[in-house]
A and B are shown apart, each in its own frame.
Chain A
Amino acid sequence: MEDMQKVVLEYVIDEYVEDEDEELTPDTPLISGGIVDSFSMVSLKRFLENKYSISIPDDEATPEAFDSVNKIVELVKRFVK
């Protein structure tokens, strides 16, 4: 769980945070906080699916489910065998 949290957090920071001074925690709102837009959610979903060899159904990949690193980890864990 901690490893996955670290991996997702690092990916989100590397991918979306342009300002080096901006702090991001596992609970920072990503979609509602304007850090990740709905376009970019697609690549985040694809990254998770490739990384953990899972398939997240489109109706599960909602903005709410992707709204923080911790929520993403919860979602991914449901699909990892």
Chain B
Amino acid sequence: MAFNEKIRKQYQDELEEIRGAGIFKEERFIHSEQAADIEVEFPAGSSLKKVINMCANNYLGLSSHPEVIKAAHAGLDSRGYGMSSVRFICGTQDIHKELERKVTEFLGTEDTILFPSCMDANAGVFEAILGEKDVMISDRLVHASIVDGIRLCSAMHDTFKHSDMDHLEKKLQLHADKRYKVVITDGVFSMDGDTARLDEMAALCEKYDAMLFVDDSHATGFIGKTGRGTHEKYGVVGKIDIITTTFGKALGGASGGCVSGRAELVEMCRQKARPYLFSNTIAPVVVSGVLRVMDILSGSTERRDKLEENAAYWRKGLTEAGFVLQDGDTPIVPVMLFNAKLAQDVSRDLYEEGIYAIGFFFPVVAKGKARIRTQISAGHERHHLDKGLDAFIKVGKKYDILGKTKQEIIDKYGL
């Protein structure tokens, strides 16, 4: 037997080390549809608890929207359940092309290619469009999926300090001799909720003949006046060469992602991107749901407007209560606690109060930057937010952190 007792013991020891380090991830089982109000089984085997969900990427509240569900049902009936093929053999339906057209139109790009997920889009895109003569220059806080994509690509890789435009310019100068230069960033950074300064980055890219890549997974559908994304917020629609994004967050939240941008780069992905070539694309039922989402968003800004109002209300409430927040104006609102154990304790106590919000600490965020990351949704009503604020204030008082500065919290709880 290959998996003998010695090997088993070694894996068990490794898992124990993860537990001992306090970074063992446990799933909480949700027994209801994804929404603002959910029923959760946690710990496993316990009775169900009704809580307000403040940690979903369900920014527009569309994950369980009746019209999206209806469209998905219709798609299931008319186009079936599965494709049993990759795209280029016999796995492309008319609705896949229709979704690619609609995303292109929505993002203001030249063309779009669907991927099974945005993780796959990021894993495949760089290897498909770059080679040994090229360089990728990425913000140091880009998402893990981008880091994986960079690792799979033979081009040289360099980084610039988070959102530091002077440092980025130095790197563009350092690599001026490379054939293709690609500057890589998230649009909205998922842990801090801040946005990339795409207007300045686009100007630098133009100055140094570099391409600009943006992962807008935490932005598509709601950032910018009509929800097109971070490029709309900064007035650079049409100037981003490659956008990757997901359908697994604001756009219905099921699954799937895409690469959208310059026609030739999209075509290169169609010819060479391995997650596209060697995996089924998005299932017809999901495509049908996303098509309805695109129609909803193209017809009205009501949901993103409500999300913006909700996020501002939530941020103001927490600020007035005396919490230390990470600066920003997105629906990602990190409540800074700095100490990992404090973040875990506060998360646990919030759950007892009926609020589901998760603590993040090293290695997910840097040491000494532990936090509760709250995420606001258009699916939240004012009473959800008020109950959330009440719970945060109650728990904040218990740990005596309201009105305290970063240094005072660190002095009290350590890093």
Contact = CB atoms under 8 A, between A and B. Distances in A.
Contact of B174 (A18, A39, A40, A50): A50
A46 B135 CA distance: 12
A42 B157 contact: yes
| Size band of the interface chain A makes with B | under 10
B159 interface: yes
Interface residues of B, number: 8
Contacts of B157: 39, 42
B175 A40 contact: no
Contacts, number: 18
Nearest to B156: A42
B169 interface: no
Interface in A20-60: 39-40, 42-43, 46-47, 50
Contacts of B199: none
B175 A46 contact: yes
Contact of A39 (B159, B161, B175): B159
Contacts of B171: 43
B305 interface: no
Contacts of A47: 174
A46 B159 CA distance: 13
A50 B158 CA distance: 15
A40 B167 CA distance: 14
Contacts of A46: 156, 158, 174-175
Contacts of B174: 43, 46-47, 50
A23 B96 CA distance: 55
Contacts of A42: 156-158
Interface in B328-360: none
Contacts of B161: 18
18 contacts: A18-B161, A39-B157, A39-B159, A40-B158, A40-B159, A42-B156, A42-B157, A42-B158, A43-B158, A43-B159, A43-B171, A43-B174, A46-B156, A46-B158, A46-B174, A46-B175, A47-B174, A50-B174
Interface of B: 156-159, 161, 171, 174-175
Given A39-B157, A43-B174, 7 more contacts: A40-B159, A42-B156, A42-B158, A46-B156, A46-B174, A46-B175, A50-B174
